[in-house]
Amino acid sequence: MAAPALPHAGWLPRLVVAPSFAVSLLFIYGLMAWNGWLSLSESRLLPNYEWAGLAQYEALWESERWGVALRNLAVFGGLFVGGSMALGLLLAIALDQKLRAEGVLRTVFLYPMALSFIVTGTAWKWMLNPGLGLEHLMHQWGFSGFSFDWLVQPERALYCVAIAGIWQSAGFVMALFLAGLRGIDDAILRAAQVDGASLPRIYWRIVIPSLRPVVFSTLMVVSHLAIKSFDLVMALTGGGPGYATDVPATFMYTMAFTRGQIGLGAASAMVMLATVAAIVVPFLYSELRGPRR
């Protein structure tokens, strides 16, 4: 005999979920809409809701510092995403060879992801400081000609940020790729070996193309980390020397909270949001539409 249906079974789950849904709607999409309105206003030190049209966006694109921030994001994003995915894939392939110490190595490689970007930036700032880090240590060991002062060089400091970011994220990428590798049918690999295919060719022609869904997911996650790299940059370089390592996230913070340019900071945030949407939405559309075909 079937159990009797509860009188309020239909709307009770919706009632339970409604508060969290309303809070999310208010504090995520509501604040996004408010930020968009501020970007079209005369806001400076305090919010000012007087309509200004696209004046803040015009000032944004005329700003030399904003141009530097965009170039830095392109360079850092390319190095960070490409380096993390390449190194993570190599580590995953190495661990996929059934090494005896796989468990220990997997833990060691994945451990940096347990740290926050603030901790990573602070640790690498100590290590790359010419006065007390790696360069100082090598001088104490007698290598007086050794020099690694990229952190204080405006044209090279951004590469230090990329190195620190890759060090933290490569283990996470490795874990994703390793899970994908372990999901591939061994019978396919054995058949390729019987046909005489070499191990590098098997990975290049069979294994890596089979990881397309993992590559897509990893690319989305790592790209998201690259765009929101505010904490890593602030902890490692503070945007300096000067504003040589400024990225859009640090530009937005500087304009809105230290320079009294709330409208300009809001405009930069909306440009970042539009950029992310322009990249993510087509990818999601293609991936969600593919299985239906």
Q: Which residue has the tokens 């833990």?
A: 107
| Mean pLDDT (whole number) for 6-24 | 75
Dist. CA 136–CA 54, nearest whole Å? 50
Q: Could you give the number of structural domains in the chain?
A: 1
Q: Which of 115, 128, 114, 111 is nearest to 162 (CA)?
A: 128
| Structural domain includes residue 151 | yes
Contact indicator for 92, 181 with CB cutoff of 8 Å:
yes
Indicate whether 3 pLDDT > 70. no
Contact indicator for 252, 137 with CB cutoff of 8 Å:
no
pLDDT at 9: 57
| Structural domain includes residue 25 | no
Q: What is the mean pLDDT of the chain?
A: 86
Q: What angle do CA 15, 21, 22 make, to 5 degrees?
A: 95
pLDDT at 270: 93
Contact indicator for 76, 247 with CB cutoff of 8 Å:
yes
| Structural domain includes residue 252 | yes
Q: What is the pTM of this model?
A: 0.84
The secondary structure of residue 6, as a DSSP letter, is P
Dist. CA 210–CA 276, nearest whole Å? 26
| Structural domain includes residue 14 | no
The secondary structure of residue 42, as a DSSP letter, is -
Torsion 102-103-107-108 (CA) sign? negative
C-beta atoms surrounding 283 within 10 Å: 13
| Structural domain includes residue 19 | no
pLDDT at 264: 92
Q: Which two tokens stand for residue 106?
A: 């997997």
Q: What's the CATH code of the domain at 97? A: 1.10.3720.10
Indicate whether 287 pLDDT > 70. no
| Structural domain includes residue 239 | yes
Indicate whether 97 pLDDT > 90. no
pLDDT at 245: 93
* Per-position b or e across 14-30, b if 16+ CB within 10 A of its CB: eeeeeeeeeeeeeeeee
Q: Which two tokens stand for residue 188?
A: 């396919």
| Structural domain includes residue 23 | no
pLDDT at 191: 82
User: Tell me, what amino acid is at 76?
Assistant: F
Indicate whether 292 pLDDT > 70. no
The pLDDT tens digits of the residues spanning 16-33 come to 788 888 888 888 888 889
| Mean pLDDT (whole number) for 235-239 | 90
Contact indicator for 282, 265 with CB cutoff of 8 Å:
no
Indicate whether 6 pLDDT > 60. no
Owning domain of residue 54:
50-289
